[in-house]
């Protein structure tokens, strides 16, 4: 049975504020430039985890950057899911992606449909227990879940530099009257308040996932959590 989980989480408000028809057209450019090109490298780490998996669900696929990488690697069939219609439209312009507008906390697919569930920049916006439950449900036995997102750097010096970087982004966003200025204002706070790596590992363990591991990248500014359904 699917579509049972209906939750309200503070991350939903941020997601609805950040992702809309104003930010969708420039999303690919903004993510590439603001991460200094590291976005592609982080996404390659996700692909390395799913290797030969054939039926892949990209949760919060956005404009389809990650889904296109899965497709290009001929790793199998990829399905995209996202909350925001305008982002899905951008993804469909890139590739004939099978996609659905839905929340990751109520995935509209039957139990055991996929052998890999992946996501990039979703974890800080969702109820992580609901996410873990839905990933468990739609994964077939032996399936793998890979979650990547920004993290708050723990090293004090790095943390200071990271905050400074966001302060610069905020000024640049204001001066350029960018559609992204609201995102640049709030994103560092949303990241630091989410504590998603620890909370997600706990939720995955509670749900019964095994082989859970967490890696940090680029001086602690992003992280990846991987888990397997036995």
Ligand X SMILES: C[S@@+](CC[C@H](N)C(=O)[O-])C[C@H]1O[C@@H](n2cnc3c(N)ncnc32)[C@H](O)[C@@H]1O
Number of residues counted as binding ligand X (CB under 6 A): 20
Smallest separation (angstroms) from ligand X to the CB of 188: 14
Q: From the list 50, 90, 104, 144, which residue makes contact with ligand X (rule: CB under 6 A)?
A: 104
**Which residue in the shown chain puts its C-beta closest to ligand X?**
62
Answer yes or no whether residue 83 interacts with ligand X by CB under 6 A.
yes
What span, in angstroms and rounded, lies between the C-alpha atoms of 219 and 217?
A: 6
Q: From the list 47, 50, 60, 135, which residue makes contact with ligand X (rule: CB under 6 A)?
A: 60
Interacting positions 4-43 with ligand X (CB under 6 A): 15, 19, 31
Smallest separation (angstroms) from ligand X to the CB of 156: 27
Q: Which is nearer to ligand X, 82 or 188 (CB)?
A: 82
Smallest separation (angstroms) from ligand X to the CB of 222: 11
Q: Which is nearer to ligand X, 125 or 196 (CB)?
A: 125
HEC string for the chain: CCCCCCCCCHHHHHHHHHCCCCCCCCHHHHHHHHCCCHHHHHHHHHHHHHCCCCEEEEECCCCCHHHHHHHHCCCCEEEEEECCHHHHHHHHHHCCCEEEECCCCCCCCCCCCEEEEEEECCHHHCCHHHHHHHHHHHEEEEEEEEEEEECCCCCHHHHHHHHHHHHHHHHHHHHCCCCCHHHHHHHHHHHHHHCHHHHHHHHHHHHCCEEEEEEEECCCCEEEEEEECC
Site string for ligand X, 117-136 (x = CB under 6 A): ---xxx--xx----------
Q: Which is nearer to ligand X, 30 or 204 (CB)?
A: 30
Residues contributing to the site for ligand X (CB under 6 A): 15, 19, 31, 60-62, 65-66, 82-84, 87, 103-105, 120-122, 125-126
């Amino acid at each position: 049975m699917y579509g049972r989980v209906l939750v309200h989480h503070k991350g939903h408000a941020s997601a609805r504020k950040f992702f809309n028809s104003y930010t969708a057209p420039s999303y690919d450019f903004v993510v590439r430039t603001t991460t200094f090109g590291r976005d592609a490298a982080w996404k390659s780490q996700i692909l390395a985890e799913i290797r030969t998996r054939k039926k892949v669900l990209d949760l919060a696929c956005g404009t389809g950057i990650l889904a296109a990488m899965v497709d290009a690697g001929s790793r199998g069939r990829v399905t995209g899911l996202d909350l925001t219609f305008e982002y899905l439209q951008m993804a469909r312009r890139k590739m004939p992606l099978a996609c659905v507008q839905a929340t990751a906390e109520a995935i509209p697919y039957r139990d055991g449909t996929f052998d890999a569930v992946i996501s990039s920049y979703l974890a800080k916006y969702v109820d992580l227990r609901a996410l873990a439950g839905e990933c468990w449900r739609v994964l077939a036995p032996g399936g793998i879940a890979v979650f990547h997102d920004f993290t708050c750097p723990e090293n004090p010096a790095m943390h200071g530099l990271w905050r400074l970087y966001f302060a610069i982004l905020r000024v640049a966003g204001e001066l350029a009257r960018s559609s992204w200025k609201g995102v640049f204002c709030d994103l560092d706070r949303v990241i630091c308040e989410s504590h998603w790596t620890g909370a997600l590992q706990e939720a995955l363990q509670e749900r019964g996932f095994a082989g859970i591991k967490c890696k940090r990248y680029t001086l602690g500014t992003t992280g990846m959590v991987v888990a397997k359904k036995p």
